[in-house]
Amino acid sequence: MTKTPMQLSRNEILDLFDLSAGADAIRNAYIAQSQDTVESPDVTYLGFPSARGDCHVKSGFIHGTEGFAVKVATGFYDNPAHGLPSSNGLVLLLSSETGQSLAILQDDGWLTDIRTGLGGAVATMALAQPNFSKVLVVGGGTQARHQAQCLHFLAKPQNIEFTFWARNFDQAKQLSSEIALTGLDTRPTDDLKEACSQSDVIITTTPSTSHLIHADWIRPGTHITAIGADSPGKQELDVDLIKRADLHVCDALSQSLDHGEFQSAHRAGFLSEKNTTELGHILGRTHPGRINDADITIADLTGLAVQDAAAALTVYRAALAAQDTKASS
């Protein structure tokens, strides 16, 4: 008999998702990626130029886990004019033992947002100086919020002072106020240079195609997690800053050097597979990571299909546990 897969709405997924379990799963995904104990085929792309739309299909499997994920994500950029969100999508989780569908997660892209937030926070925790407190978040979108909230969660009970900068100061003020309501210590800034020079950690989340952050704005010891650059031409950091950094970390060498934040430095010949380290090696303790307090470290995160699998498994396991609790009560 074929069992009907579990079907979960976005709201059910939000209720079920446990940040701590999610962070553990994301950490394991980074390690598995670097140990090459994953299946992570090329991303499928379909274009719909007449509707200004596209679709990406990403599939990922972490060896040894009970399920693999196929994520279908669409972006149709005329949707907002018709009152619809531009991003849509869902994640299928299938059994790695029988191939049967385990769950259909109609997350509308939320799992991608949260796994990116947790992925950034895991990188920041692994690479920043242990007692970091001043964190600058660059960008005024959804990912700015997720990065701050996930880092706040993972850093607890350490107190963090979050500063928000966005191209539009009103956006920074609004984001700062909104996030303050969820219990974080936040402030907006309109001076990116000054904020950079006073931060222990900088998290960049913009779709910028020209660098926002200059090499001489950064003080020794700063860690930077760069989230925004994930396709050819995107760049948030000055190549001189990348050159100046002491440690270069990424989620996947093949992606980062090709179309991530490190693409320009790679093409300019400063960075290669030899002097760039995958985060999974640091999390798995086969690379020491940050060595000196004064090191400038940069993590370039482009996003992994196995993080989608990790996030989907986190929800699925929580849903099964909730069913068990219900059944036994």
Q: Tokens 């960049």 belong to which residue?
A: 204
Q: Which residues contact 27 (CB under 8 A, 6 or more apart)?
A: 122, 283
**Shortest gap between Cβ of 323 and its own copies (angstroms)?**
20
| Cβ nearer to its own copies, comparing 64 with 269 | 64
| Cβ nearer to its own copies, comparing 33 with 199 | 33
| Cβ nearer to its own copies, comparing 11 with 292 | 11
Angle at 64 between CA 60 and CA 69, to 5 degrees: 25
**Shortest gap between Cβ of 29 and its own copies (angstroms)?**
16
**Shortest gap between Cβ of 9 and its own copies (angstroms)?**
8
Find out whether 29 and 127 touch, Cβ atoms under 8 Å.
no
- What is residue 304's DSSP assignment? -
Residues within the interface to its own copies (CB under 8 A): 1-2, 4-5, 7, 9-10, 39, 41-42, 44-48, 51, 53, 55, 57, 59, 61, 68, 70, 72, 74-76, 79, 82-85, 87-90, 92, 94, 96-101, 104, 106, 108
Torsion sign over Cα 244, 245, 251, 254: positive
**Shortest gap between Cβ of 312 and its own copies (angstroms)?**
13
Q: What is the C-alpha to C-alpha distance for residues 87 and 278, in angstroms, rounded to an integer? A: 29
**Shortest gap between Cβ of 66 and its own copies (angstroms)?**
11
Structure tokens, 18 = 């446990």
Q: What is the C-alpha to C-alpha distance for residues 45 and 47, in angstroms, rounded to an integer? A: 7
Bond prior to 157 in cis (omega within 30° of 0): yes
Residue 291 belongs to what H/E stretch?
none
| Cβ nearer to its own copies, comparing 49 with 157 | 49
| Cβ nearer to its own copies, comparing 237 with 313 | 313
Q: What is the C-alpha to C-alpha distance for residues 297 and 151, in angstroms, rounded to an integer? A: 17
**Shortest gap between Cβ of 228 and its own copies (angstroms)?**
22
| Cβ nearer to its own copies, comparing 79 with 142 | 79
| Cβ nearer to its own copies, comparing 90 with 312 | 90
Q: What is the C-alpha to C-alpha distance for residues 301 and 278, in angstroms, rounded to an integer? A: 10
Per-residue 3-state assignment (H helix, E strand, C coil) for 21-75: HHHHHHHHHHHHHHHCCEECCCCEEEEEHHHCEEEEEEEEEECCCCEEEEEEEEE
**Shortest gap between Cβ of 242 and its own copies (angstroms)?**
32
**Shortest gap between Cβ of 108 and its own copies (angstroms)?**
6
Torsion sign over Cα 142, 208, 88, 8: negative
| Cβ nearer to its own copies, comparing 7 with 272 | 7
